[in-house]
A and B are shown apart, each in its own frame.
Chain A
């Protein structure tokens, strides 16, 4: 099932000079895909993920999320779509500063729904990421690595259709980086699509679909059917 589709998407910036990190990008993401986007720092991987997550508007081309063209959707529809279908892991760990770790996850989990959060599910995920003892900590009381893991938990807790992970293994030792890749693989098996942008090739090998972003163009590195 199609989750996300980019058709000839381009994006440019003017920061003193014109930068065009995305030029006529075409990409199809289906349920259960695990895609890695490789490329050196500053090449435009985050820009691509932000466009895919409807946080950033493309200058040209079309983006389809949940088989609906994003440019035809209202802000309200897009926001609802993000709440229900997309899990973001940003390059810089970001959490709601006033809420504890557990509350952060519960808040994210219940957004856009009238359901109450299942505390058991939240605690189980925190436990999996080695954060159960930090559940009552505020974000500023966590280390960089713990914040990163907390963000991953935040993205996974609502079981989104599309997980957009920007450098998810930064700040992490091999054990936790491996655990997170493992969680992505499990999410994929449950039907989520994972798009992971990273410059660290150690972890891209786990992704069956690998692309490299270079000079604004996206090219397949290796396609492996599982």
Chain B
């Protein structure tokens, strides 16, 4: 009976292709949305787990965007006095504070990393963000000619990369964090300051203070039992010209925004699923009607009702499976370009695109396609199986 189902599907090629296209398109949209949703969710989770800091302090709100700093690797030349760290420690409740200095490579050129990318100088004496990674990999402090790169920076450990005309050896690639760290190159803070100080295009930034006296951000770990919210309020009211944000709150805020958007997207996906089911019900109904006389013949020569039902269901499954595979493949191919477009438009933390995720997506796609095929064909199959053989034979020829 499986062979007959297969032959029926192949034999009615144009009708089968049309059904496969409807299923494939529906599944590709669904899987792509699922994959993007999963990657953003994973990005948020990783950000929460691996960022390590409770509070991030940035120059005041007019000049710096916490979302951008946390979730993107966009080069941002934002600075505040390095002495802020000492002032903040006076407020109390801070267990650790580590400054970072942001600068950037320059776009193109013969001697640089090929695109504009954020360079972050970290302070090895106070750092607690990269330290767990260093400990895990038995890496000591970075030498002046060494860098560590985020998971999305396309250079491998051992390679030498030219940054602003100077060679640096890549000593490691960070684990994915779903944050802006993934697209960042980390170097020693003193080296970062020196590099920034030598960039002719940035000289206007050093009119009031040189890079050695500036930092871009401070990552703070609160003491046990200290309320993060209270500390943030204290910092923001200190009149130091800085803004403090809770990393977890920022991530949670992003999560709640994502939840709302996800609900809308999933409502639209569900609607497209319902439309696809209705379109497929119509197709399977007309297929069953066209084959009434043949179904009558099958019943007459001794094919059971249940077998007719399974035959039509199997044909739907074959088409749905093909649609599911094609749709999942399209989604997997399309997810990266679509994600890139989204990242260019919105501030989005994204997890890593892995084979496991692709397989999960394909699994969801195939199972959904099979369910779609089942929902759409159950009624026509049941109706056809219940046909009176003689009526199907005689009337089927007339319809």
Chain B, residues 6-50, CB within 8 Å of chain A (1/0): the string is: 011011100000000000000000000000000000000000000
A79 touches B11 (CB 8 A): no
The one of A79, A84, A90, A97 in contact with B304, judged by C-beta atoms closer than 8 angstroms, is A79
Chain A, residues 78-108, CB within 8 Å of chain B (1/0): the string is: 0110111000101010111111000100011
* B393 contacts across to A, CB distance below 8 A: 55, 90, 94
A96 touches B298 (CB 8 A): yes
Report the Cα distance A75→B281, complex, angstroms.
27
Report the Cα distance A79→B385, complex, angstroms.
13
The one of B7, B8, B303 in contact with A111, judged by C-beta atoms closer than 8 angstroms, is B303
Instruction: Identify whether the interface residues of B are mostly helix, strand, loop, or mixed.
Output: helix
Residue on A nearest B299 in the bound complex, by CB: A79
* A96 contacts across to B, CB distance below 8 A: 4, 294, 297-298
Residue on B nearest A82 in the bound complex, by CB: B302
* A79 contacts across to B, CB distance below 8 A: 299, 302-305
In the assembled complex, B264 has its CB within 8 A of some CB on chain A: no
A138 touches B302 (CB 8 A): no
* B4 contacts across to A, CB distance below 8 A: 96, 98-99, 107
Residue on A nearest B11 in the bound complex, by CB: A98
> Known interface pairs A55-B390, A94-B293. Does A111 touch B301 (Cβ–Cβ under 8 Å)?
yes
* A-side interface residues, number (CB < 8 Å): 27
Residue on B nearest A112 in the bound complex, by CB: B302
* A108 contacts across to B, CB distance below 8 A: 301
B302 touches A111 (CB 8 A): yes
Report the Cα distance A99→B11, complex, angstroms.
9
* B-side interface residues, number (CB < 8 Å): 21
* B342 contacts across to A, CB distance below 8 A: none
**Shortest Cβ distance from A14 into chain B, in angstroms?**
14
**Shortest Cβ distance from B319 into chain A, in angstroms?**
14
Residue on A nearest B301 in the bound complex, by CB: A108
> Known interface pairs A53-B300, A82-B302, A108-B301. Does A138 touch B11 (Cβ–Cβ under 8 Å)?
yes
A50 touches B297 (CB 8 A): no
* A88 contacts across to B, CB distance below 8 A: 300-301
* A138 contacts across to B, CB distance below 8 A: 11
* A97 contacts across to B, CB distance below 8 A: 11, 294
The one of A55, A76, A111 in contact with B389, judged by C-beta atoms closer than 8 angstroms, is A55
The one of B294, B305, B390 in contact with A50, judged by C-beta atoms closer than 8 angstroms, is B390
In the assembled complex, B357 has its CB within 8 A of some CB on chain A: no
Chain B, residues 242-277, CB within 8 Å of chain A (1/0): the string is: 000000000000000000000000000000000000
A83 touches B301 (CB 8 A): yes
B305 touches A75 (CB 8 A): yes
A80 touches B390 (CB 8 A): no
B302 touches A92 (CB 8 A): no
Report the Cα distance A96→B303, complex, angstroms.
12
* B12 contacts across to A, CB distance below 8 A: 98
B304 touches A76 (CB 8 A): yes
* A107 contacts across to B, CB distance below 8 A: 4
* B7 contacts across to A, CB distance below 8 A: 98-99, 103
Residue on B nearest A81 in the bound complex, by CB: B302
The one of A50, A82, A103 in contact with B301, judged by C-beta atoms closer than 8 angstroms, is A82
From B10, B294, B302, B389, name the one whose CB has the most chain A CB atoms within 10 angstroms: B302
* A92 contacts across to B, CB distance below 8 A: 397
* B297 contacts across to A, CB distance below 8 A: 90, 94-96
**Shortest Cβ distance from B102 into chain A, in angstroms?**
67
In the assembled complex, A19 has its CB within 8 A of some CB on chain B: no
**Shortest Cβ distance from A100 into chain B, in angstroms?**
9
* B294 contacts across to A, CB distance below 8 A: 94, 96-97
Residue on B nearest A138 in the bound complex, by CB: B11
Report the Cα distance A167→B362, complex, angstroms.
54
**Shortest Cβ distance from A161 into chain B, in angstroms?**
13
A82 touches B300 (CB 8 A): yes
Report the Cα distance A56→B390, complex, angstroms.
6
Residue on B nearest A154 in the bound complex, by CB: B301
**Shortest Cβ distance from B4 into chain A, in angstroms?**
7
**Shortest Cβ distance from A168 into chain B, in angstroms?**
16
The one of B8, B303, B305 in contact with A98, judged by C-beta atoms closer than 8 angstroms, is B8
Report the Cα distance A92→B303, complex, angstroms.
19
Q: Identify the 4 closest CB pairs spanning chains A and B, nearest first.
A: A83-B302, A55-B390, A98-B11, A98-B7
- A residues bordering B, Cβ < 8 Å? 50, 53, 55-56, 75-76, 79-80, 82-84, 88, 90, 92, 94-99, 103, 107-108, 111-112, 138, 154
Q: What are 5 A-to-B residue pairs whose CB atoms are below 8 Å?
A: A79-B305, A88-B301, A90-B300, A95-B297, A96-B294
- B residues bordering A, Cβ < 8 Å? 4, 7-8, 10-12, 293-294, 297-305, 389-390, 393, 397
Contacts A79-B305, A96-B298 given; 16 further ones with Cβ under 8 A?
A: A55-B389, A55-B393, A76-B304, A79-B303, A83-B303, A90-B300, A92-B397, A94-B297, A95-B297, A97-B11, A98-B11, A99-B4, A99-B7, A103-B7, A107-B4, A111-B301
